[in-house]
């Protein structure tokens, strides 16, 4: 299983200075289109799925779907069926996809389906709906030819889950609806998903990808297994259009990773797009959105991570995060999966 993200502690890794200059706000576009950008250093896997499509002149939509498929195939803590489970021991997946014409599809609380990103696209293209959840999403997937996978945890996820159960002392309760109601406070419904793991890394590694194709069209996707040990049924920002992902073909495409609840409150990705529409560079727009999130509760913000990446219609890239060590990975002509650390609100 892929380990927790190996965050970069410097501006860029093995990036020539002339290319680094192209990544900063206000500079010229990073490269001639096409371009694909994904969250984290694991974005290399996603980009490797997207780039062959873009190189051949394919659409950004096809490219980001392949990005999702590639990362869902890779054993990981936080994406795909090999990811960590909810606190009752089940892996539930969320994903969304959006094209250059405001078409979008989303699936939430989806179990036993290997590629939620493709289910989201199928929903977008074959129904009038945007979002399906739970059993209904699974029924739709099976009816459209997606295989129903075994209900089991990967070896790594099983081991991690058992360790968490010992520490949290949480015990899933059969027929919990028949049990006496807890006291009306937050602790009465706990334990909740930890914001950070024991090694200090954040409990979220959502994979988001945005792409600009040779025709000048944008698309994006976001896929995740959500926070490890979350309450059963919890949904974060990842599958919510305007929160975890937004695409406006006149302006740009934005996705993010981090504490989903904080992103949802501010309609984060849509907020970044609107700042870009006002003339802000991608990095400036991401920074302003992060400042909006932090402003709500500065002390609380010290305890979580949120990071945005933005790709403009002109091909300029920007990112910004609450905490240090958020990174993104770029693939373009002459830029082969270069990972760069974003600037952050807290240093």
What are the DSSP calls for 97-116, one per residue?
Answer: EE-TTS-EEEEEEE-S-S-H
The Cα angle at residue 61 between residues 271 and 132, in degrees rounded to 5: 70
What are 257's strand-pairing partners? 307
What are 36's strand-pairing partners? 211, 331
**Alpha-carbon separation of residue 105 from 146, 147, 256 (angstroms):** 16, 19, 17
Catalytic-labelled residue, pool 45, 92, 160, 206 = 206
265 half-sphere exposure, CB direction, 13 A CA radius: 14
**Alpha-carbon separation of residue 152 from 109, 156, 165, 262 (angstroms):** 16, 12, 17, 31
DSSP state of 24: S
For the beta carbon of residue 13, count every other beta carbon within 10 angstroms.
14
Q: Is 92 a catalytic residue?
A: no
Report the number of secondary-structure helices (H) and strands (E) in the chain. 10, 13
For residue 209, what are the contacts with CB-CB under 8 A and spacing of at least 6?
A: 36, 37, 38, 39, 43, 46, 47, 50, 64, 67, 68, 220, 221, 222, 255
* CA–centroid distance for 152 within its chain: 23
Known catalytic residues are 206
């Amino acid at each position: 299983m892929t380990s927790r993200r190996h965050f970069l502690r410097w501006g860029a890794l093995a990036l020539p200075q002339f290319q680094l200059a192209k990544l900063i706000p206000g500079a010229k576009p990073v490269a001639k289109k096409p371009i694909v950008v994904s969250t984290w250093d694991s974005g290399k896997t996603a980009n490797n799925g997207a780039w062959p499509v873009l190189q051949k002149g394919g659409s950004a939509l096809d490219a980001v779907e392949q990005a999702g498929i590639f990362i869902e195939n890779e054993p990981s803590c936080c994406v795909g069926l090999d990811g960590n489970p909810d606190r009752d021991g089940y892996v539930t997946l969320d994903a969304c996809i959006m094209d250059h014409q405001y078409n979008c599809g989303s699936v939430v609380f989806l179990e036993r389906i290997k590629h939620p990103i493709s289910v989201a696209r199928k929903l977008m293209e074959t129904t009038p709906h945007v979002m399906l959840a739970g059993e209904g999403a699974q029924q739709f997937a099976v009816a459209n030819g997606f295989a129903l996978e075994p209900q089991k945890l990967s070896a790594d996820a099983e081991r991690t889950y058992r360790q968490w159960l010992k520490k949290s002392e949480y015990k899933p309760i059969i027929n919990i609806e028949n049990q006496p109601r807890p006291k009306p406070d937050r602790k009465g419904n706990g334990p909740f998903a930890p914001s950070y793991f024991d090694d200090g890394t954040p409990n979220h590694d959502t994979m988001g990808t945005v792409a600009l194709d040779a025709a000048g069209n944008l698309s994006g996707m976001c896929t995740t297994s959500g926070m490890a040990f979350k309450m059963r049924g919890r949904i974060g920002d990842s599958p919510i259009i305007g929160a975890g992902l937004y695409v406006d073909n006149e302006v740009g495409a934005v996705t993010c990773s981090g504490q989903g609840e904080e992103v949802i409150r501010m309609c984060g990705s849509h907020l970044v797009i609107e700042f870009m529409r006002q003339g802000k560079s991608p990095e400036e727009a991401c920074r302003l959105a992060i400042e909006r999130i932090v402003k709500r509760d500065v002390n609380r913000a010290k305890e979580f991570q949120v990071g945005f990446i933005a790709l403009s219609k002109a091909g300029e890239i920007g990112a910004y995060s609450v905490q240090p060590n958020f990174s993104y990975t770029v693939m373009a002509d002459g830029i082969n999966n270069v990972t760069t650390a974003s600037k952050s609100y807290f240093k």
